[in-house]
Structure 1
Amino acid sequence: MAPTPRDEHDGAELTVVADMWSPACTVIRTFLARNEIACRWVQPTDQAGRELLTDHGFTVADTPVLFGSDGRTLRPTDEEQLAQWVGLHTKPTSDSYDLLIVGGGPAGMAAALYGASEGLRTILLERWAIGGQAGLSSSIQNYLGFPDGISGSDLTDRARRQACKFGAELVISLRADHLRPTDHGFAVHCTDGITITARSVIVASGATFRTLDIPSVDKFNGRGVFYFSALTEAPLCSGSDVYIVGGANSAGQAAVYFASCARRVIMLVRADSLAVEMSTYLIEQIEAIPAIEVRTGVEVVDASGDTHLEHLTLRDRTTGAVEQVPATWLFAFIGADPATEWLDGSFARDDRGYLLTGPDIAIVDGSDSPWPLSRPPLHLETTVPGVFAAGDVRAFNGHRVAGAVGEGSMAVMLVHKFLGD
């Protein structure tokens, strides 16, 4: 039996009444946690939940419902509405900037910081929350200057405050869906009809999480099956068994983090060894924690349950043997694909969809070069002159936080060169 959600913020001014196994509840919980909005969670079946709903004219069927200490209520329909309701900055203050950055992960935040600090009127658009995938990391231990490690949320908060100090404008819940050149730069069109123009653009939209793509598992998304959400769900897993799918650093970091609160952490790794994708320092940490069990050569093939996940079916990839295990919590960290679907065909990509930049543009097959100018492309410049790429969205990147930060700051240097020319 899963534990009841605990109220972690007794002094919070926001109360959320929602069933913990509701996918809509998961979306809200993740959005609020990632944007550092303190809240108190109440089950609709608890007395406090029933009283709140009744006093404001709601029923259990209306949940999730948010209650503010000022008497306001909200039944959120999307993240933008939720972001506005809790007071996040969701609309640009102008329609024209020197530099527009799409994506608020480490690459985008570094670009925002350096762009604003060096005199460029800078705006950053982030769909979910500042920090990107790195913001979900429980502990980043190989980032320069933090010998004891730092959580993704702490690093994100420092970056946000630093960028804002220099005047960067950070807009949350506004999603770019098209980019086109104009006579004086570029126009980025957003899903709610807002268009923003800028003299230059840095694409740092990162990557989107891969899912297990198993119909019976998909049925439990947000109801026991989660992707890259260790920080937001861990408080609910105290004393439980937690299954983690994946063998790279993100999965290892999550396993170490869950081991501090879960009864047992079972890592399910398709490869024959963690060494295939995981850093050595992390493997050594995992081996030193008795609560973590690593099962290699194993994959999930089925899931079952009633209102939430209750069982997983696992298969040994070598012998084909199948077993069913009781499971309430499954967290998958199985990689990501580049978030480039919003860009048109004028942006050259590699065979996995990552943006080609600078000298890598030359690898494109065919006699017709995708680069349109007589000058060579700048190092992080895409095949659309004046649009640069940084971080996980770019081909041949290292998929490390430090590398993304370096690319974001370098991209601003190249923007200055482009604008100067």
Structure 2
Amino acid sequence: MPARRTKVSYDLIIIGGGIAGSAAALRAAQNHLKVAWVLGDKTTAKRSRGLWVANIDNMVGIHDGIVKEKLLKALKGERFQEAREVLQQLPPQPISTRDLIRNTQQRIQEEFSDFVDEYGKVADSVEREGENGPFRVRGKDLDLSAPFMILATGVMDRQPIVRKTHKGEEVAQPNWVYPFANRESFLYCLRCEGHLTSGSKTAVIGHGESAAQLAMMLHERYESVCCVLTNGEAPAWKPESQRLLDQYGVGVHRQAIVDLQGRAGDLHAIVLEDGKEVPVSFALVSLGLYRVYNELACQLNAELADPGQPEDERHVLISHKGETSVPGLFSVGDMTKRQGEPVMKQVYTAQEYAVRAVDTIDSRLRAARRSAVLAESGQV
């Protein structure tokens, strides 16, 4: 049987359970908007960047040292001496995107359950009822309606294919990368993680101009890059970039990657098809996006950025307030691109986009309510 439409009157539907969706849900809850938050399921969670960022240490205020210092201050006195000693000896406790998302859900459930209804479902389709009517979201056991909607369905990076021999057969797939990505040996964002490579040997994996640019920046900032691995592809960067790589002493290896050596997710070497072992501690992947999850935006005919790219790799174009070309439809996080600005894919920019979008929606809802109050009083 088709799902019955919920009888709850919502101000806003948020689709997406990652960083951007969580930030939007928390801001909307704090503004006391009535929200339907469609989180997705386990399958959609695995497609999200939010599952894979193991350590956020490029943001002010997000660091395990803050919690550690507070605990040490709280555990005063002789009776807590042993606890303080244990705490001092603990290794660093990274804060991941999963931690942020889980904490946000807990806060909303504990503090704002009257304002946010969570749906662990997948939104399969969206439509608008009439030219300026409410948005309607449908899925299995899901049928919601609201005058505003925020899409925060994210993107996924393209992973390098490793042609590893397994049980006597070549198995060419990206899965060999995941244990190292989970331990932050494989990196995907120079702005977020480049500083981690300082003092260590790092390979850039990619064959386009962006790979050459990242290699040059790693050298200029951290003197950490040792080579570029094109993984069987011909280099496609500019001659000038090649001259700079030569001047910086950055080697280029064109052979396919056939193995990753390391232990417990710590990378030690990348093995190429000619048998060469490239000793590295980090690999920075520069292969672009595998997918922008823009299907729901496309269903509403929202304008996309990146003309000339395949549709499923195109960002959703938004204004500085996060609104798409469809009035009332907002999009936030990695899936978006603002006109005339570079793409920003950090936790702090996802939060900024989310807050701008929610506050814009809140302002419009309040303006409509104020007009209604004046109309009822006959003072319009």
Contact 1:268 1:295 survives alignment (8 Å): no
Q: Give the equivalent residue in structure 2 for 1:139.
A: 55
Matched, 1:300 2:300: no
Contact 1:391 1:399 survives alignment (8 Å): yes
Contact 1:380 1:411 survives alignment (8 Å): yes
Identity %: 22
**Residue 395 of structure 1 aligns to a residue in which SS?**
strand
Q: Give the equivalent residue in structure 2 for 1:224.
A: 176
Q: Give the equivalent residue in structure 2 for 1:187.
A: 136
Q: Give the equivalent residue in structure 2 for 1:339.
A: 293
Unmatched runs of 5 consecutive residues or more in structure 2 = 66-93, 237-241, 243-250, 262-269, 271-282, 308-313, 369-380
Cα drift, residue 272 of structure 1: 3.5
Contact 1:100 1:122 survives alignment (8 Å): yes
Contact 1:269 1:298 survives alignment (8 Å): yes
* Root mean square deviation, CA, Å: 4.3
Cα drift, residue 224 of structure 1: 2.0
| TM-score, length basis structure 1 | 0.53
Cα drift, residue 328 of structure 1: 4.5
Give deviations 1:280-322, integer Å, cap 9, x for gaps: 9xx64x94xxxxxx44332112xxxxxxxxxxxx878879865
In structure 2, do the counterparts of structure 1 residues 166 and 93 end up closer, same or farther at CA, with 3 Å as the change threshold?
farther
Cα drift, residue 213 of structure 1: 7.1
> 1:115 is matched with which residue: 25, 28, 34?
28
Cα drift, residue 209 of structure 1: 2.8
Aligned equivalents of 1:98 and 1:381: distance in 2? 16
**Residue 316 of structure 2 aligns to a residue in which SS?**
coil
Q: Which AA in structure 1 matches 2:299? A: D
Aligned equivalents of 2:235 and 2:49: distance in 1? 30
Aligned equivalents of 2:34 and 2:319: distance in 1? 25
In structure 2, do the counterparts of structure 1 residues 267 and 177 end up closer, same or farther at CA, with 3 Å as the change threshold?
same
Cα drift, residue 105 of structure 1: 2.1
> For this pair of structures, how many residues does the alignment match?
273
Higher relative contact order (CA 8 A, sep 6+): 2
> 2:304 is matched with which residue: 349, 361, 369?
349
In structure 2, do the counterparts of structure 1 residues 278 and 101 end up closer, same or farther at CA, with 3 Å as the change threshold?
farther
Cα drift, residue 246 of structure 1: 5.4
Deviates more, 1:214-223 or 1:199-208: 214-223
In structure 2, do the counterparts of structure 1 residues 407 and 216 end up closer, same or farther at CA, with 3 Å as the change threshold?
same
Aligned equivalents of 1:409 and 1:417: distance in 2? 12
Decide which structure has greater helix share: 2
Q: Which AA in structure 2 matches 1:152? A: T
Aligned equivalents of 1:159 and 1:225: distance in 2? 29
Compare CA radii of gyration and give the structure with the larger one: 2
Aligned equivalents of 2:358 and 2:134: distance in 1? 16
In structure 2, do the counterparts of structure 1 residues 414 and 177 end up closer, same or farther at CA, with 3 Å as the change threshold?
same
In structure 2, do the counterparts of structure 1 residues 325 and 358 end up closer, same or farther at CA, with 3 Å as the change threshold?
closer
Give deviations 1:193-218, integer Å, cap 9, x for gaps: 63221221011112133244799999
Aligned equivalents of 1:320 and 1:333: distance in 2? 14
> 2:103 is matched with which residue: 138, 141, 158?
158
Contact 1:388 1:411 survives alignment (8 Å): yes
Give deviations 1:145-176, integer Å, cap 9, x for gaps: 1355732232222222223231233333x222
Give deviations 1:90-138, integer Å, cap 9, x for gaps: x997665221111122221111012122222212223334995244212
Deviates more, 1:397-406 or 1:94-103: 94-103
Q: Give the equivalent residue in structure 1 for 2:280.
A: none
Q: Give the equivalent residue in structure 2 for 1:386.
A: 328
Contact 2:39 2:119 survives alignment (8 Å): yes
